[in-house]
Structure 1
Amino acid sequence: MSGEGAGDAPAPEPVAGLSDPGTSPLDDATWAAAARAAVARLDATLATSFKADCDIDRLLKARTAGVDTQVVAAWRRCVDTDEGLALFAVGGYGRGELFPQSDIDLLVLAEPSAQVAHADALARFIALLWDAGLQAGHAVRSAMQCTEAAADLTVMTALLESRPLVAEDAATVALQDAVSPSLVWPARDFFAAKREELRLRHARYGDTADNLEPNLKEGPGGLRDVHTLRWMALRILGTGDMDSLVAIGLMGADEVATIRRERQALSRLRWGLHLVAGKREERLRFDYQKLLAARLGHEDSAGNLGVEQMMQGFYRSAALVLRIGDRLLQRFEEQLEGEAEPEPIDDLFELRRGYLAARDPVWPRTPDAMLALFAVWAQRTDVRGLHSRTARALAETLPMLPSYEEAAPALRHRFMQLLRGPNPVGTLSRMARLGLLGRWIPAFSNVSGRMQFDLFHVYTVDQHTLAVLKNLASFASGQADERFVLAHEVWPRLHKPELLLLAGLFHDIAKGRGGDHSELGAVDARAFCETMGLSEGATALVEWLVRQHLLMSLTAQKQDIADPDVIHRFATVVADRERLDHLYLLTCADIAGTSPKLWNAWKDRLLADLYTATRLALRRGLENPVAAAERSAETRAGAKAMLGAFGVRDEEVDALFARMPDVGFQRGRPDQLAWQAASLRGVATGETRVRARPVSAHAGALEVFVHSPDRDGLFAAIVATLDRCGLAIQQARVLDGPHGTIFDSFEVVPADPRTTPSAEDIERRLAMALAGSLEAIRPARRAQPRHLRHFRIVPQVGFYTLDASGQPRTMLSLVCNDRPGLLADVACALRDQGLRVHDARIATFGERAEDVFQITDERDLPLDDPAQQALREALLACLDGESR
């Protein structure tokens, strides 16, 4: 498993006075201090060698040898060499892989009588190591006790890596015999247990290496996966040397070279991580990513930060480890179980133990044969995966596959058949995982493993793209999904679903090039579609979707879609219902595929409302925009019909509507206005009424309605109370009603899905809070989450004037770091400035908050320049203290 490379690592440094424990002039404390200093000097020298790009295997070997020197010296200082005790290094230390902050695992092999006789000497030995700064874990066992302890899989694994430090040959043989397959863990049982252990470990990390803060050791595709393959080989074949597996035909030389190269790349990352963390840290946290990237020599370039380059290297290494690991697991299984009788599928392919395999021993002979494999795979639901020999043959002949630009028309036709055939998304995912998609579309290869250093995009670009395609596939299933209220209804209207899949495939393909990725991606999409022979209409649709794939999301989240003018402008860009259907589905899939936490009930309803309103506008005709009065009349009629259906007489409905603001009927939905009107029944003038209701079927999402006599600071008090209830506000609409009342509505979701307050609890707590002094209600004090500290955004505060239905107002835009309680703090700052909030739109993109407020002064007038400057200073002071 070792590799060769340039650069020399230093030899271990002995400590004076260690050669003869009987004549050593040093007491234990002095010896330990000297040993600690020697290890520190070695580590400092190794750190310098690491910076000089010394071969990582030489560094690991040098540190192991240096620690061996001190461990053996401590042993000889404490234990007589002829007393029947043997010392072994086990685990990672036994394997010879000691990183800067690795601990050391030791086994003392001794019969029970010797254990008792030398208990004090062994205790002194371990204490001496700890005093020397060597974090030693140890076990003292006889051979029989080793056999018993090895029933535990973790112990067995550690003992597989045993390496004698101070031991006679007889002791080494005794230890090997104690854990032989005849006594404990036969090869078949060990393989099955280790494979299950690997599966469970991967599941703990979401079965993906593409995490924002990956674990270099334990995560999927990490060093532990390489170790697991080695342990399996040791137990099944008696060797952990990968070169030996080539000799017996279990691995190819190319596979061994790849696994060695990626292990070294991962080891170098782990070594550097230990250096920058200054402690035993295996998780590549945001705290260390930029520091490590700089230490490894990665520099920022246009559109590609150094940290992003480093992380892309990790993700690609992990992907290759996983790919080769899958093949080797199959081969170990066949080694243990024997070859199964093949089950023919057709003239070209067969199943071997459930794995899809090519029948031709020299497959693939042509690129068409490669794509034919995926066509057969898509038609079979009983395939466990790709057979290891076929997977290796595919990898070795991958350069045979041309890019789509260089491919023959027949091959392009074959690819389009895959998109139009069964399970096209599964096919694209398999092609991506096996490296074919990057060969076919070179631009996709450029974004494979590419991360973006922020909290908004939690996946690499290629994995995000595949997640978007998977969401689109769920829309095609025909089964309703409560997360997406309209998607399953819209999908059947698509005439050529493969066009939407192409838009999903290309929508982020230009990330990292610099410039607008939507524009650059649209150029790529058009080139692809034209080359593949799609019609001009189909090509134009895909190109437009890629160029405008952010349009619907930004319109819904940043503009007031209850405003007919906003709907008209959006509908004008969309232009027809075919584009609208495709864009709606792509937007839902894109947002939901960006982060598991990003999609929620508010976004679902927001996009559904925008889709419905735009579809109506297109049906009416863009030359006939909806006037505010017409919108108000339609909403009144709809709300009145709903109330009438529940037995509310027309006279009472009219009386209730008279108590509500006219602008609400221009901006609200009929069901919302009917619910608010019903909430006013029995409410006397000057009385406060709070109501909350769930939003559709989404767990925890609520709409909160507050009707109350108007008071300065009311908005800030409501926001602070909702924040204290553990709710994150997605949207706030603050309307002034007749007779000095307010009609405030809030769309909220739980800040922590594990603690979701009920609608009744929200109503009770808000009503109690508003019955007291508003000034006494302040935001909760919270520490800033760790991960937000590494993404610093310079706050941006902007103002402009908007004429909202004949009422001039100041629009405040705020861009800054998101954090718990941000909106509550901003609301209090507005209250302290004596300002009134009339509308608020809250948009969060990972660590970035982009909020917009409609505000006026106490006279309901826009803010003049001095007031704007005062507010800007107050907000910046508020944000400057965000660490709180």
Structure 2
Amino acid sequence: MSLPRIRKQRKIIDRRALSAAIAQVVADQGALGGRQDVVAALRKALDAGRETLRRRLAKRPGAGHEHANGQAFLIDQLIRVVHDHVIEDIYPAANRSSGERIALLAVGGYGRGEMAPFSDIDIAFITPGKPTSWCEQVIEAILYYLWDLGLKVGHSTRSLDEAVRMAKADLTIRTALLEARFLWGDQDLYDAASAQFWNEIVPGSEGSFVQEKLAERNARHKRMGDSRYVVEPNVKDGKGGLRDLQTLYWMGKYVHRVRSAAELVQKGLFTEKEYRSFRRAERFLLAVRAHLHTIAKRAEDRLTFDLQREVAARMNYADRPGKSAVERFMQFYFLQAKHVGHLTGVFLAQLEEQTAERSRLSDFVSAITPRRTCKVEGYLVEANRIAAPSDDWFQQDPVRLLEIFAIAEREGLEVHPATIRIARRDAALVTAEVRKDRRANDLFMQVLAGRNDPETVLRWMNEAGVFGRFVPDFGKVGGQMQFDMYHHYTVDEHTIRAIGLLSAIERGALKEDHPLASRILQKLGNRRVLFLAVLLHDIAKGRGGDHSVLGADVARKLCPRLGLDAKETELVAWLVRYHLLMSAFAFKRDLSDPKTIIDFVAEVQSLERLRLLTVLTIVDIRAVGPGIWNSWKRQLLADLFDAAQERLRLGHKSHGRAERVAAKKARVRDLLGDKAGLVEDLAEAFADAYWIAEPEDVIALNLPHYAAAQEMQHTLSIHTEYDAALGATLVTVIGDDHPGLFYRIAGAIHLAGGNIIDARIHTNRAGKALDNFVVQDPMGRPFREETQLARLKTSIADALAGKIDMVPRLAKRPLKQMRAENFRIAADVSFDNAASNRFTVIEVNATDRPALLNRLTRALYEQSLLVNSAHITHYGERAVDTFYVTDLTGMKVDSPSRLKKVARALLDAIAAGEGELADAAA
């Protein structure tokens, strides 16, 4: 195997000119005396070659193969020059023995000729037998020259026999030799090594090689997140990346001894169209990897947020209405990863049939006992796989492109990869006429709302291109990502995962994780409405407007086609339009404020809508990605559901203030047991507002704590309680109330490594402050270790005692995820005086920063505002902090000039935090 012809290769490096320059140095200074000048000449050639390739990549940013081959060519010529210099000038041997021979082999990616600017250079030195002294000297000298050039070299030295023995025992060595390319030195020795590989190592091991490679691939995928749709993919090793394409080629080459990927077509492993898709994906991924290395100035294969924008710009992607350049670039990336997934499926299906190894006995058994094949509605079913009975099956009736997936979902069958290949080829047969076909729409709904495993079948349908053809709006979000840290998957992958979660909850598989949704689904009367709402909730993303509003319009057009009546259609449209409503109320509003529940119920209006919206909200959040769903969110949604359900059933009767307080006191007495008398003992200490605001389990913790602090005359009492149900830690601070208490506690909790996700602030009639904070660590987990809890208490006590110089200490604390530095959220402050009867509600949106909450609450304190409660939500890099405040007289803030001044103070606090962070980074 040799490199493809390189365009204007002497512009990259002129080997003859470089050899002549080195020869002149040797003539003038001698082989040893001129070493530094030889290295300088080699480095000059390397730098010039890299610069030429860099300029070419800038002019043709998508030319991945050309750039990768050019990098390999550059290194080839340098190594050849070094080799010749070493054996001719440093260790010349007039009459070398038969053992004094060396073949240089390029192996691995270098052998394939696919190199990024900072790829490792993998070389194998092959000798006839045990390396002689001359061979060892030559190899060492060559390596020292390459190391002097700053090249990262992976190398091995083996005799012919050693190479055979080690390759038989080690898959990595076998794979490296599979890719071996003659680089320089003794051609006959290379030919002998190649013959031994193909004659002694490969025969009989084809099946095991394929199995081992697939196991290796699966382990790599698991290590990388096991999805090709993660938003910071690894271009080389991630699922759908270069290594997957290389694995296909390795297996094809090992089994069929092909010399290039193009020959896989002749062997029946790819069609011509699939091979073109293979090359297109490979070319794109190689180009992306080249840009990554060039930007990072090192070997970098992960397409991280901080690199995505620059790679998109270098590859000439531009903004479009509703979609930024980086989102367009990443969408194309994921489409290529999707093609790689399809190619893997069809390739392995073909290879499986070609490499099936049977013993004589199994051949005999097969001859007398044919493999059991049956038919289901005209389709062939064998080994739990459903297959089209003929190549033109879908062409005869395109509706069958939906039918096969519906049968597969209903019967729990796998669609044969060869049939997926045919479906992908024929997906264009899904025309407007097919989309209007009643039978086709019924079949699609059977898949979407299937009772077995709609997620897997929809994923097959998506890979085959049928999903996007049948629902063109879904096709538009295929591979589409959102450039933020909150969404872990592309829109289509997120949607399919959400449908899978809904199905799993319905089957009772996630009762422990989702008890509320599990109960609701048992009572639901509009099952298919819910599945359609999950399908459509994000379908209008990337269109340049509010995707909820635009998605509702899509629902109104699509649902009648899918067989829904007018009432069902409007219900789906409402759910899509308001699919973010419940999370906004639950996470950004005070659920103890009756006005919150009244406003939420006014939007929802019916129990069925409430049930549907609750389940939609749960699966939407859970499907965003790992770590997004937690016990705290589950509890807040459950609290909002229960309160809204009660009001919908009982109306205003359920919200009598005195009745609510009395009922809660009764429940607290039950929880307190033999300490129930504390409810009456402390009746004068806490007003009704406290009883309404706090859950009874929190009150049952607060009252004994407060009584003990009072009895022991503590000026400051701090209590921590790990709550397994919430997945968080409750931190209660009791002490003398004084201005600025909240912001000092907030800063102290941050310094102790905690994040406040909810807070309620109370000042009782005796002038004592009782503040409850719900705290998690930066990874969304509770504080529960004794050392963590002790650190929290100490930090708070020191802050309130003035022992901490908080501002500089906070400035030095790093953000929990420095990736947020790659994003800028436009700071925004909004006021709502209608959301509460007693408080002005302030919502602040900003880029997440160290101690943001401390800075905001300090600004509120400096504006003479009292914070009653705070609700903290993070959406990746975006923080949304909501405060319920009054002025010092306990009144709402409604003066426009005052509100403007408060907004300015909050924005200044955000800007100051960003400035401090920038100074710290500098």
TM-score, with structure 1 as normaliser? 0.92
Equivalent position of 1:450 in the other structure: 480
**479-488 or 832-841, which moves further after superposition?**
832-841
For 2:791 and 2:141, locate their aligned partners in 1 and report how far apart those are by CA, in whole Å.
Answer: 65
Match of residue 190, structure 1, among 199, 203, 209: 209
Aligned pairs for 1:267-286 within 5 A = 267-286=286-305
Aligned pairs for 1:584-595 within 5 A = 584-595=614-625
Equivalent position of 2:31 in the other structure: none
Could you report, residue by residue, the CA deviation over 1:716-747 in whole angstroms, capped at 9, with x for unpaired residues?
34323433443321111101112011121122
Equivalent position of 1:776 in the other structure: 803
Q: Is the 8 A contact 1:712 1:831 kept in 2?
A: yes
Match of residue 528, structure 1, among 544, 548, 558: 558
Residues 1:332 and 2:351 are matched in the alignment: yes
Equivalent position of 1:643 in the other structure: 669
For 2:732 and 2:138, locate their aligned partners in 1 and report how far apart those are by CA, in whole Å.
Answer: 74
Could you report, residue by residue, the CA deviation over 1:258-293 in whole angstroms, capped at 9, with x for unpaired residues?
111111111121122222222211111122111111
* 3-state SS of 2:758 partner: strand
Equivalent position of 1:477 in the other structure: 507
Equivalent position of 1:408 in the other structure: 437
**562-571 or 437-446, which moves further after superposition?**
562-571
Equivalent position of 1:64 in the other structure: 72
Give the counterpart letter for 1:118 in structure 2.
C
1:169 Cα offset (Å): 3.9
* 3-state SS of 1:218 partner: coil
Residues 1:366 and 2:397 are matched in the alignment: yes
**722-731 or 793-802, which moves further after superposition?**
793-802
Equivalent position of 2:693 in the other structure: 667
Equivalent position of 1:583 in the other structure: 613
* 3-state SS of 2:299 partner: coil
Equivalent position of 1:99 in the other structure: 116
Closer/same/farther in 2, CA of residues 483 and 510 from structure 1, 3 Å limit: same
For 2:298 and 2:795, locate their aligned partners in 1 and report how far apart those are by CA, in whole Å.
Answer: 49
Equivalent position of 1:25 in the other structure: 27
Give the counterpart letter for 1:705 in structure 2.
T
1:813 Cα offset (Å): 3.6
For 1:61 and 1:6, locate their aligned partners in 2 and report how far apart those are by CA, in whole Å.
Answer: 7
Q: Is the 8 A contact 1:5 1:55 kept in 2?
A: no
Residues 1:42 and 2:74 are matched in the alignment: no
Equivalent position of 1:162 in the other structure: 180
Q: Is the 8 A contact 1:691 1:763 kept in 2?
A: no
Could you report, residue by residue, the CA deviation over 1:15-72 in whole angstroms, capped at 9, with x for unpaired residues?
6462597774372221222222222222222222222227432333333222211110
Closer/same/farther in 2, CA of residues 228 and 537 from structure 1, 3 Å limit: same
Q: Is the 8 A contact 1:99 1:274 kept in 2?
A: yes
1:635 Cα offset (Å): 3.5
For 2:346 and 2:261, locate their aligned partners in 1 and report how far apart those are by CA, in whole Å.
Answer: 14
1:135 Cα offset (Å): 2.9
Equivalent position of 1:120 in the other structure: 137
Closer/same/farther in 2, CA of residues 545 and 707 from structure 1, 3 Å limit: same
For 1:712 and 1:448, locate their aligned partners in 2 and report how far apart those are by CA, in whole Å.
Answer: 53
Match of residue 287, structure 1, among 296, 306, 310: 306
Residues 1:13 and 2:32 are matched in the alignment: no
Closer/same/farther in 2, CA of residues 767 and 124 from structure 1, 3 Å limit: closer
Q: Percent same amino acid among aligned pairs?
A: 31
Q: How many equivalent pairs are there?
A: 875
Equivalent position of 2:362 in the other structure: none
Closer/same/farther in 2, CA of residues 820 and 146 from structure 1, 3 Å limit: farther
For 1:78 and 1:7, locate their aligned partners in 2 and report how far apart those are by CA, in whole Å.
Answer: 29
Q: Is the 8 A contact 1:661 1:736 kept in 2?
A: no
Closer/same/farther in 2, CA of residues 773 and 505 from structure 1, 3 Å limit: closer
* 3-state SS of 1:106 partner: strand
For 2:573 and 2:287, locate their aligned partners in 1 and report how far apart those are by CA, in whole Å.
Answer: 42
For 1:90 and 1:202, locate their aligned partners in 2 and report how far apart those are by CA, in whole Å.
Answer: 23
1:103 Cα offset (Å): 2.4
* 3-state SS of 1:108 partner: strand
Residues 1:793 and 2:811 are matched in the alignment: no
Residues 1:710 and 2:737 are matched in the alignment: yes
Aligned pairs for 1:595-614 within 5 A = 595-614=625-644
Match of residue 78, structure 1, among 68, 86, 92: 86
Q: Is the 8 A contact 2:849 2:913 kept in 1?
A: no
Equivalent position of 1:880 in the other structure: 915
Q: Is the 8 A contact 2:21 2:41 kept in 1?
A: no
Q: Is the 8 A contact 2:12 2:48 kept in 1?
A: no
Q: Is the 8 A contact 2:729 2:782 kept in 1?
A: no
**544-553 or 118-127, which moves further after superposition?**
118-127
* 3-state SS of 2:482 partner: coil
* 3-state SS of 1:744 partner: strand
1:763 Cα offset (Å): 7.1
1:572 Cα offset (Å): 1.2
Could you report, residue by residue, the CA deviation over 1:157-196 in whole angstroms, capped at 9, with x for unpaired residues?
1111111122444212321244346347811111111110
**274-283 or 714-723, which moves further after superposition?**
714-723
Equivalent position of 2:258 in the other structure: 239
Match of residue 498, structure 1, among 511, 515, 528: 528
Q: Is the 8 A contact 1:703 1:748 kept in 2?
A: yes
Closer/same/farther in 2, CA of residues 351 and 533 from structure 1, 3 Å limit: closer
Residues 1:396 and 2:425 are matched in the alignment: yes
* 3-state SS of 1:747 partner: strand
* 3-state SS of 1:298 partner: coil
5+ long unaligned stretches in structure 1: none
More helix by share: 2
**269-278 or 632-641, which moves further after superposition?**
632-641
Give the counterpart letter for 1:173 in structure 2.
D
Closer/same/farther in 2, CA of residues 179 and 450 from structure 1, 3 Å limit: same
Aligned pairs for 1:179-258 within 5 A = 179-180=197-198, 182-183=200-201, 186-258=205-277
Could you report, residue by residue, the CA deviation over 1:756-783 in whole angstroms, capped at 9, with x for unpaired residues?
4248963784278438853224365322
Q: Is the 8 A contact 2:829 2:906 kept in 1?
A: no
**274-283 or 652-661, which moves further after superposition?**
652-661
Closer/same/farther in 2, CA of residues 15 and 507 from structure 1, 3 Å limit: same
* 3-state SS of 1:62 partner: helix
For 1:3 and 1:370, locate their aligned partners in 2 and report how far apart those are by CA, in whole Å.
Answer: 42
Closer/same/farther in 2, CA of residues 644 and 533 from structure 1, 3 Å limit: closer
Q: Is the 8 A contact 1:707 1:744 kept in 2?
A: yes
Match of residue 872, structure 2, among 819, 842, 853: 842
Q: Is the 8 A contact 2:775 2:783 kept in 1?
A: no
* 3-state SS of 1:842 partner: strand
For 2:46 and 2:746, locate their aligned partners in 1 and report how far apart those are by CA, in whole Å.
Answer: 57
* 3-state SS of 1:18 partner: helix
1:402 Cα offset (Å): 2.7
Q: Is the 8 A contact 1:829 1:875 kept in 2?
A: no
Give the counterpart letter for 2:797 in structure 1.
L
Match of residue 378, structure 1, among 386, 409, 417: 409
Closer/same/farther in 2, CA of residues 356 and 876 from structure 1, 3 Å limit: same
Q: Is the 8 A contact 2:125 2:158 kept in 1?
A: yes
Closer/same/farther in 2, CA of residues 175 and 437 from structure 1, 3 Å limit: same
Q: Is the 8 A contact 1:36 1:132 kept in 2?
A: yes
For 2:2 and 2:312, locate their aligned partners in 1 and report how far apart those are by CA, in whole Å.
Answer: 25
For 2:307 and 2:658, locate their aligned partners in 1 and report how far apart those are by CA, in whole Å.
Answer: 55
TM-score, with structure 2 as normaliser? 0.88
1:207 Cα offset (Å): 1.0
Give the counterpart letter for 2:573 in structure 1.
E
1:307 Cα offset (Å): 0.7
* 3-state SS of 1:317 partner: helix
For 1:44 and 1:521, locate their aligned partners in 2 and report how far apart those are by CA, in whole Å.
Answer: 48
1:860 Cα offset (Å): 6.0
For 2:433 and 2:638, locate their aligned partners in 1 and report how far apart those are by CA, in whole Å.
Answer: 37
1:354 Cα offset (Å): 4.4
* 3-state SS of 1:99 partner: coil
